[in-house]
Structure 1
């Protein structure tokens, strides 16, 4: 038996792990900068000329044994977590680990000379053209300064002024540690400076979002510091702190039942523990708010002198991870905003931050977050289940900021509601006498000019309101069109089945009677013929009967709900509508007990679909949340006060899921659901319908059962 080892040509390794492995020339330079950092260098310089690149660092250098045993051993690395136990250690977490980073040299040039001097060792020279490599002792160069000098020639890329400036910007973003100074020659007046080192509110951004995930507690702590809104905004947001907000989220409760996470609750718990602690500091700002929006929303800034627009960068200790350096929307922010494109002013839709509005850094650790693993080529991370969980936790923190900011915007926007049309006596006078010659005094001319100015402003205000309303309804219609299409398909099927309704409802009894008449029934009910459930005819027929009853209920409900008259506004008896809703639900769901407290004399100017849209969704939610219970008690109280209906809806169930207990208004947001396969549209429809009537949600509580307090108006 002979043990074999693969033999790979040097030129093939250089091509695969160097030329083809690095996505761009900047990432290859970064790999060599990381090598200098790992060598504990305080300084590294990179000099470009037409024919070469020279990289010099003052690190610990390499000896002959280091070159032979590590540098020339592909896939082997002597780099652990840090250089602990050595006099050279200054606490740096080593960036390398794969043993392939040296092939960045092959990406940059076809010929390389490396000179290196290590304390107490003879300096060495390593030379390669990627077909063969030669190692020499530099016995006559014992005074060579400690560190490493790399000369790269036969360059594979042109390094122009523009590309060198791009490199400086790239290194400024990808480096997250100032223990090593990076100098570029020529630098064209620019230097490498760590972009997020000294962030300034009002200069680089308007809001800072701090996140810290504690894996021991399975909690995400978040802090929001903002200077986005002026002091004037405080007049419209008296219950909100416009400058500071902090809280925490139980991630286990937040993700319970989440279908995007492919794991059981027990697996999720373990994964959240294993993920490890991490932190983030994100910076929000609008790219170009208009002068009109600055006034409308009381913004503090119309422009920032040095706005961050680098995107969100993922750092593992001192350096960013390739492909997560801000260029790529790796958090999926734009995808989130496409799913929920509502403006921040939308009264019921969920606003989502866009990728170009957020910059900042997410920081992980080589040891702490070992489950977030580099790809073999070090050009990204494995997008495994841990990575998906990691991204999900960050977006939960971003969602907390989105809710905070949207609450402020909604409060401020109330002042922008259309005002009554101004009186225009001078214009009216002119219009009344339009066929007559009109002579105006100086004061009348001034008055006329003032009226025209007011009318123009009012016209602009109405135009803005029109555009805002159109945006709102475009968003609503997109969601409702999906539901309407599903409903139309179902109603079409219900119409087709309508002619078979009688057969469906009575066939069970016909079949049983026929079997009795022919003398088969008693035999079929005997133990001999009922031993196996799949051959148990009476049981199968009984199950069929129950299914048929559900089909009949579905047909009746579908055909009843789409009657045209239900959408016509008129004076309706509230008690009659509610009794009908109660009867329908208690007929189809034996576990429901609905108690009504409604004055029989109350009539309300509305349409029937308003009540069915609201109460069908509320009752359905109560049943779905508590369907394991033998009985669900629902109490509905309705009283008319002035032009409003005051309504309290309560059930005796388990209440709200833990993630909503401290922030119950979240259940009104679109796509919020704690149920597996839940669409999260039911309560959004309820809220939208309530607001459409001119009413509003007053309070929600989910501690002992579910309590929903709201008002309905007569505006349709």
Structure 2
């Protein structure tokens, strides 16, 4: 026979249903407040001390038996089982009626009590049950549950005492929670945020059918913040005092609002615009069988309403929140939080920006009442909203179809109909409906909305604003004819015979006016036809006169024909002249093409001549080093010239002369090193790749080297970045020497080097104010970098070829950027990766 086994529960369960499940301090406080509400308390006070939070309520309290069988019974909920208040049937009538009036409970999972673990290290629970004299007290050290996870949950003991009195519990009945060893600090800003959140915990909007409107207040006390409270301009920013929300009474008359009430059998919708009723309709609840007690209440915030909100609340509406969800009078998170889009309002708004409202335009709530139906349960984390069930899907679908879309239809099709009536633009700044009421276009569009409701056979129009819909008292010539048909449908749907008679009389007047207009138009047409006939007769007479005149002018035609022939000959001569010029132009273009071809041939010949003269004995590297030695020699010569001029001028400053000589010695040493490299069989091995800050090296190199050309050229270097890579400093020196040498040969007296870092690349822009690159190379820049191609008569054609090759060996590149890019001469870009 098989054995029967049983579960064991680790003490680690405390963390799972405590601080690991409830990860937010505010949610933890909310859960404890909801427990007080479900205990039929009419008041909860929350006191913050240095390392303690005290939560006291005036609820029914608990006996020792309640503590054992309910509070210490993990995950058990008498509210869910329907046994929470059965024992109070025999109490006094006032309290019995109070319990009976509260049909719904805020919580029903049986784990909210573990919010205490989230807030502090230990808990003292003191409670006195209604109708009893003894006071029961529990002392819980949550740390005991964390000492050994192998210890079973039920074996961790909780201290209990029965007291005659307790200083913090001086009321007839209730419960006080003392949470000590706080897990996190509570500075002023956090206390303010808690107060702002508690403002929205219990439905602050009020309820259309007054459900759960029994008295319930929350007070916060923190003595250390009393002085700071006195400096706050707005009452809601003060920590101490009662939690209140006072803005929505003002919004009720300052903005457009819609209310939708869903019952088991009927759905009622009421639209009000700034205190003026627009319509009230009713329809059967055919699609939402799981919704039996739901209220939607939305406010559209135009510019005026947003400004009014900010003035009274001290913050913008977008920072207050948007559409909140309340279940049984208590808020469900995160619906309504600033930036939250659990309802998908903003996502939908982005798909049709001008035709739909976003969360920034809305303020309101969804209010759901349920006997803890499995269709509308909150997720266990308490801040993750409702479980996505079929009931939840019906709730969201009905919110869109029966509330939000109807509000959008009014706002977009009437208030935002600027193309129909430009005066409607002023409506967003108005606190009343006067702009729409004075706009024929706005009233016509409003009537169209009512007409569409009348067309829906499932909708019953209980009332509508006839004064706004009725535009037949306006100038009839401004009214389209379909208005009478639309208004008749509305009158038929509402069985309003008087309105129907008014429409009929107005339509007769309209038809009479229309007939008068048609008669006037017909007369105007007849007069126009007579005028046209008179013009036609005059035209025929004029034609007869012209025929006679033509007969008299035939003699002149022969003379004119001769003139035409002469003009044709002149035209032929001019055409031949044009053809001759075109032939000359084609010949000139052919000559130009020939010169271009001869130029290309010349450069190719120079290149081949150089190659034939050098490639027989020297490698590419040797050629580049010899060229670098030549450039360095030019630098030595220039420095010696400068030194001679200073000595000749009578300069006796030894420090200056020594500095000049040291510069010359620097270049000489460089030439000697290059010469030694040429004599080695494999001098490539001496070109070590080192980790180099390229920008810093170039800056220092230019500073050290530029003295050689200080009388001929000025070198300026700009950079605000750094760039580190591995390369040969010798190769980089050769590249810089060749570019400076080319600038000197181009008669430049100024060089600008600018370092620019773009992502993983460094671009050294090298510009001068010389004569620039010849036009032939500008049109074909690839020739610049070929061996043997010379950009000036003094050059050998190796300089730019060496630069191209050395940059390639350093995994970089060089490109001709053009003439006149920075300075008036040529610009080359050195690219390092």
TM-score (norm 2): 0.42
Which structure dedicates a bigger proportion of its chain to helix? 2
Bigger radius of gyration among the two? 2
TM-score (norm 1): 0.48
